[in-house]
């Protein structure tokens, strides 16, 4: 673990600005900085554009619009996350929630719930909304290079009632969450490299994490897909919870690991095709397989 003083300083200044500005102004600032980051990212932008064009089957101009939109979107997301402790009380007014009954019914089974999502829309708002509505929520998060950033993410989540579980180093916490019959939020759209199962993702083979699938199998936890996307006005959101996933021929979901991975990827791919400018194309999803 090493420190990144420049990045930490920039985040600290941006956090102060976001919390000092009115909400709309903070989002505009985030979108502007996201656009600038896209223009300055050079090869990262070029690779994301090529990735998008190939995965969606669109031309370079359309792919460029998607990637430019993604940079602006995630600039807004960063501003929203930094303002989350200030906005917690307003989330229910800002987010339209559909399908909540599927989550409540799954939770009532008493075996915990694997809440399947992805880096699309504003997943942090989604977890915070669930906590606001009384659901017991834990969210898995990756360790950042600078420990201060990891701690800041965890502290922000906890401030709105979401328990933070570090990816890879707190497996016992994830197990305990499910044993207590609670919700474990997982984002299943990252490259699992050698530890994953190769499964189609937006039509191309991708190494897919299977840890959450094995947890579902071990505890009999239902896997409930859900995602939250930004409305056209830029400030409001729609969060959609879907029915629990089912295995083939009536089998419990997760017993057939490859089938389960394919199904999870199918669901997430459909979300991305609906709102491609809200997915994290900057991340090399297929790096260990086809390299796009």
What pLDDT was estimated at residue 34? 98
Predicted TM-score (pTM) of this structure: 0.95
Residue 209 domain flag: yes
Average pLDDT score over the chain: 95
Residue 228 domain flag: yes
Q: Which residue has the higher pLDDT, 174 or 215?
A: 215
As a whole number, mean pLDDT of residues 233-244 equals 97
Q: Has residue 66 got a pLDDT over 60?
A: yes
The per-residue pLDDT for range 126-137, each reduced to its tens digit, is 999 999 999 999
Distance CA 95, CA 280 (A): 21
What pLDDT was estimated at residue 166? 82
Residue 287 domain flag: no
What pLDDT was estimated at residue 170? 55
Residue partners of 77: CB distance under 8 A and separation at least 6: 30, 122, 124
Residue 22 domain flag: yes
CATH number at residue 141: 3.40.1130
Structural domains of the chain, count: 1
Residue 289 domain flag: no
Task: State which residues form the domain around 44.
Answer: 5-278
Residue 186 domain flag: yes
């Amino acid at each position: 673990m090493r420190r990144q003083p420049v990045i930490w300083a920039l985040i600290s200044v941006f956090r102060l600005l976001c919390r000092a500005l009115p909400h709309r102004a903070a989002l505009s600032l985030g979108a502007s900085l996201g656009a600038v980051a896209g223009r300055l990212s050079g090869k990262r932008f070029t690779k994301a554009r090529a990735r998008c064009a190939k995965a969606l089957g669109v031309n370079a101009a359309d792919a460029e619009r998607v990637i430019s939109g993604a940079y602006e979107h995630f600039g807004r997301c960063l501003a929203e996350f930094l303002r989350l402790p200030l906005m917690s009380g307003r989330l229910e007014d800002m987010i339209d929630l559909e399908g909540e009954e599927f989550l409540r019914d799954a939770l009532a089974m008493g075996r915990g719930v694997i809440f399947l999502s992805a880096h699309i829309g504003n997943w942090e708002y989604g977890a915070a909304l669930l906590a606001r509505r009384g659901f017991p929520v834990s969210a898995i998060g990756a360790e950042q290079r600078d420990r201060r950033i990891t701690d800041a993410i965890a502290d922000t989540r906890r401030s709105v009632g979401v328990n933070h579980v570090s990816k890879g180093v707190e497996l016992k916490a994830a197990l305990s969450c499910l044993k207590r019959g609670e919700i474990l939020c997982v984002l299943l759209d990252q490259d699992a490299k050698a530890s994953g199962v190769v499964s189609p993702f937006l039509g191309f083979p991708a190494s897919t994490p299977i840890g959450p699938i094995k947890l579902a199998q071990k505890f009999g936890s239902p896997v409930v897909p859900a995602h939250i996307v930004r409305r056209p006005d830029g400030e409001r959101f729609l969060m959609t919870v879907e029915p629990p996933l089912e295995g083939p021929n009536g089998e419990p979901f997760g017993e057939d690991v490859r089938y389960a991975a394919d199904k999870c990827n199918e669901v997430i791919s459909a979300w991305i095709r609906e709102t491609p400018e809200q997915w994290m194309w900057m991340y090399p999803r297929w790096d260990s397989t086809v390299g796009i």
